[in-house]
């Protein structure tokens, strides 16, 4: 066993013994039994390491053992290695030190997707579609993501030289970039969908999420916002503290946001709203889908229970387990479930799980779950246990349901999009074409986004040009390997969706990724139908409180 793991075992033993002595004789006896089991486990590791027919790394054995324990607890308790935990902390923190680009690698070439607003690269005019061909004079072709991060990130104030090729100019030049703190926004899009309707798509709950949201809310209010849409689709959660702060923004003071219940005093408690940075009077819609989970469900559940927001979309994921972080000296950490949380009405929205069946839990039969959203029993296609939803009530007495996710007030399915078009978009082939198109047609394209949205259309000639682009030998080989059909019947069924993605990626190449997302909102059925529900959201806020237990 490695010295590091031996140290960890010894630390656990000493800690257990010290706590037991302080707690009394019964605890000492329990600790002795625990100590003997750890001794057996440690000895077992040594035997496997010495005698097993094939070599097994001690690190692997340790992680197998930890994984075996945690998979018997619940789907969300997890052990993170030092590297994984460091990356997770960076994501939750919402910033890093580097040059401030989003990138992808096309045919081995590091390509800029966006220069982050206010970052070092944007200040030096790097643009979407620019290719970084050398880093500190060394060829950058073929580097993987980890190698790119290692070369481009570094301490604040240090400098890195990159050689940039811009397809429109067909020339290369060196750019000397001083690394700086780069803020990664939790917000994918912030825009006014209509002159009086603000919209924010929040992608995660990082440490800066509430503050970033507040900036946009104040800006919208200055521009005449009379209704607000908070889009939590695809948002799998993050920091519970940020979910509480964001829900707090839309509730007047003294209202329950959530209740946690665990085995220890620290794990149990009640969180109430304050009057800090509050926007309690604007009619509001919260958009959710099957991937809205955890912190997203805290926000949606609290605002629904107080009749504060109209929840629209699909039933949410159903995660109501609270994890605490337990870091170790080697940089790794244990995320352990310490409590369940309940919405203000008393709902537990945790979906049922069975230990050892993560596949069924993370990829459930959504058709069956959607079929049980009115409190009835949903029958699953594979004969699994049905879902029964206990009924609760909002402050005004409207029925809401527990048992698995937040059930929306208004159900709207996502817009159907051709699977071929989605594949081409996700593989950035529409982006690569858009980069070439913008380089060749810059003089004829609108000079600002509003003019582009109002007047520019990707016509049939451009779609046809893209289809010919897909038939280039270098790309055709990639498409054939993935068994992507390019027959006329399939292409005809995908043309309108291809047009949509080209429209988005051309805008993204000129004004950045957020501009491309703004284009897609115009084709998003859930968003567009939500605009027609603003009056219903306003009427919801006029409901008078009912006589309901828990409120």
Residue 237: which of 88, 400, 422 has the closest Cα? Answer: 88
Predicted confidence (pLDDT) at residue 22 exceeds the cutoff of 80? no
CATH code, domain with 238 = 3.90.226.10
409 and 366 both lie in a single domain = yes
Is 103 found in the same domain as 22? Answer: no
Across 74-78, 169-173, 358-362, which has the greatest mean pLDDT?
Answer: 74-78
List the structure tokens of 434.
């858009």
pLDDT digits (tens, 9 = 90+) for 405-417: 999 999 999 999 9
Is 440 in the same domain as 396?
A: no
Report how many domains make up the chain: 4
Residue 538 lies in a domain: no
| Six token digits for residue 165 | 């090729």
Catalytic residue among 130, 231, 305, 409: 305
Mean pLDDT of the chain: 89
What's the rounded Cα separation, in Å, for the pair 339 and 263?
Answer: 7
- Whether 256 and 230 have beta carbons less than 8 Å apart is answered as no
pLDDT above 70 for 518: yes
pLDDT of residue 387 exceeding 80: no
Compute the Cα dihedral for 448, 450, 454, 457 and give only its sign: positive
Q: pLDDT category, 11, cuts 50, 70, 90?
A: very low
Q: Which residue is catalytic, options 206, 231, 319, 332?
A: 319
Residues 120-135 pLDDT 10s: 999 999 999 999 999 9
Would you tell me how many other CB atoms lie within 10 Å of the CB of residue 148? 17
186-226: pLDDT as tens digits: 999 999 999 999 999 999 999 999 999 999 999 999 999 99
- Do 37 and 160 reside in the same domain of the chain? no
242 and 138, same structural domain? no
Residues 244 and 335 in one domain: yes
Q: Last residue of a domain, which of 380, 414, 448?
A: 414
Same domain? 468 vs 402: no
Q: Are strands 284-288 and 310-313 parallel, antiparallel or unpaired?
A: parallel
Does one domain contain both 150 and 238? no
**484 lies in which domain range?**
419-523
Residue 497 lies in a domain: yes
Residue 7 has pLDDT above 80, yes or no: no
- 209's enclosing H/E stretch is helix 209-222
- Residue 294 known to be catalytic: yes
Q: Tokens 């060749």 identify what position?
A: 440
pLDDT-above-90 percentage for the chain: 70
Any catalytic annotation for residue 170? no
Instruction: Flag whether 82 is in a domain.
Output: no
Summarised one tens digit per residue, pLDDT across range 220-269 is 999 999 999 999 999 999 999 999 999 999 999 999 999 999 999 999 99
Indicate if the pLDDT at residue 385 is higher than 80. Answer: no
Q: Which helix (H) or strand (E) holds 324?
A: strand 321-327
Active site residue 345: no
pLDDT above 80 (res 27): no
- Answer yes or no: do 143 and 19 share one domain: no
- Residues 82-107: tens digit of each pLDDT: 999 998 998 899 899 999 999 999 88
CB 235 within 8 A of CB 319: no
Rounded mean pLDDT of 141-159?
94
**H-state helical runs in 24-106:** 25-51, 58-70, 82-93
Q: Is 228 helix (H, G, I), strand (E, B) or coil?
A: strand
Check pLDDT > 70 for residue 24. no
What is the spatial distance between Cα 418 and Cα 414, in angstroms, rounded to a whole number? Answer: 12
Q: In the block, which residue shows the tokens 């949509």?
A: 500
Q: How confident is the model at residue 355 (pLDDT cuts 50, 70, 90)?
A: low
Q: pTM (2 decimals)?
A: 0.88
CATH number (domain holding residue 176): 2.30.42.10
Q: Is residue 192 part of a domain?
A: yes
Q: Are residues 201 and 344 in the same domain?
A: yes
Helix and strand numbers, DSSP H then E, in the chain: 20, 21
d(CA 300, CA 308): 10
Q: Is residue 86 part of a domain?
A: no
Q: Could you please report the per-residue DSSP string of 365-385?
A: -HHHHHTTTTSSPBPPTT-PP
Confidence at residue 548, expressed as pLDDT on a 0 to 100 scale: 56
Q: How large is the greatest C-alpha to C-alpha distance in the chain, in angstroms?
A: 84
Output phi, psi for 264, to 5 deg: -110, 160
The domain boundary residue, chosen from 183, 210, 233: 183
- Check residue 358 and give its pLDDT: 79
Whether 331 is covered by a domain: the verdict is: yes
Q: Is the same domain home to 351 and 331?
A: yes
Asked if 309 and 227 sit in the same domain, the reply is yes
**Residue 318, in any domain of the structure:** yes
- Asked, for residue 77, whether it belongs to a domain, the answer is no
Residue-wise pLDDT tens digits, 465-476: 999 999 988 888
Q: Which of 185, 292, 294, 332 is catalytic?
A: 294
Sequence-separated (6 or more) residues with CB below 8 Å from residue 205 = 186, 235, 237, 238, 239, 240, 242, 243, 246, 295, 296
Report the alpha-carbon distance of residue 262 to residue 339 in Å, rounded.
4
More confident residue, 7 or 233: 233
Q: Which of 119, 154, 183 is the last residue of a domain?
A: 183
Summarised one tens digit per residue, pLDDT across range 255-302 is 999 999 999 999 999 999 998 878 999 999 999 999 999 999 999 999
Q: In sequence order, what E strands does 116-264 have?
A: 131-135, 138-139, 159-166, 171-178, 180-183, 187-194, 197-202, 227-231, 256-262
């Amino acid at each position: 066993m490695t010295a590091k793991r031996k140290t960890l075992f010894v630390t656990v033993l000493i800690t257990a013994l010290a706590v037991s002595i302080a707690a009394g004789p019964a605890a000492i006896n329990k600790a002795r039994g625990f100590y003997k089991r750890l001794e057996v486990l440690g000895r077992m590791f040594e035997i496997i390491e010495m005698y097993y027919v094939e070599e097994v790394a001690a690190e692997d054995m340790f992680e197998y053992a930890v994984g075996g324990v945690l998979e018997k607890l619940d789907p969300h308790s997890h052990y993170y290695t030092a590297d994984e935990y460091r990356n997770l902390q960076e994501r939750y923190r919402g910033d890093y030190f580097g040059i401030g680009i989003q990138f992808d690698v096309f045919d081995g070439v590091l390509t800029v997707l966006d220069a982050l607003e206010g970052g070092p690269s944007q200040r030096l005019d790097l643009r979407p579609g620019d290719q970084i061909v050398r880093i500190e004079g060394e060829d950058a072709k073929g580097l993987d993501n980890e190698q790119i991060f290692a070369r481009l990130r570094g301490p604040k104030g240090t400098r890195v030289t990159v050689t940039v090729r811009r397809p429109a100019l067909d020339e290369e030049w060196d750019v000397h970039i001083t690394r700086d703190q780069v803020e990664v926004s939790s917000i994918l899009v912030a825009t006014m969908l209509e002159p009086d309707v603000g919209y924010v798509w929040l992608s995660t709950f990082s440490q800066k999420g509430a503050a970033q949201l507040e900036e946009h809310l104040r800006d919208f209010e200055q521009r005449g916002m009379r209704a607000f849409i908070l889009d939590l689709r695809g948002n799998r959660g993050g920091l519970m503290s940020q979910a509480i702060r964001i829900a707090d923004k839309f509730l007047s003071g003294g209202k329950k946001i959530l209740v946690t219940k665990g085995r220890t005093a620290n794990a149990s408690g009640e969180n109430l709203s304050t009057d800090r940075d509050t926007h309690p009077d604007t009619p509001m819609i919260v958009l959710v889908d099957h991937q809205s989970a955890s912190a997203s469900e805290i926000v949606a559940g609290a605002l629904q229970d107080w009749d504060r927001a109209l929840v629209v979309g699909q039933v949410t994921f159903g995660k109501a387990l609270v994890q605490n972080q337990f870091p170790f000296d080697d940089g790794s950490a244990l995320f352990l479930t310490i409590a369940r949380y309940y919405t203000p009405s008393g709902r537990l929205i945790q979906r049922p799980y069975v230990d050892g069946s993560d596949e069924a839990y993370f990829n459930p039969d959504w058709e069956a779950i959607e079929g049980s959203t009115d409190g009835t029993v949903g029958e699953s296609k594979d004969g699994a246990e049905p879902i029964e939803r206990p009924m609760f009530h909002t402050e005004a007495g409207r029925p809401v349901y527990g048992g698995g996710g937040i059930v929306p007030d208004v159900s709207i399915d996502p817009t159907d999009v051709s699977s071929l078009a989605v594949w081409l978009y996700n593989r950035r082939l529409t982006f690569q074409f858009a980069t070439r198109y913008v380089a060749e047609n810059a003089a004829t394209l609108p000079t600002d986004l509003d003019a582009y949205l109002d007047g520019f259309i990707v016509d049939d000639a451009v779609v046809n040009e893209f289809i010919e682009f897909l038939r280039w030998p270098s790309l055709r080989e990639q498409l054939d390997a993935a068994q992507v059909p390019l027959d006329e019947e399939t292409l005809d069924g995908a043309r309108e969706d291809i047009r949509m993605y080209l429209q988005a990626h051309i805008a993204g190449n000129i004004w950045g990724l957020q501009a491309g997302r703004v284009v897609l909102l115009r084709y998003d059925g859930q968003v567009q139908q939500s605009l027609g529900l603003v009056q219903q959201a306003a009427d919801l806020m006029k409901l008078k409180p009912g006589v309901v237990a828990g409120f």
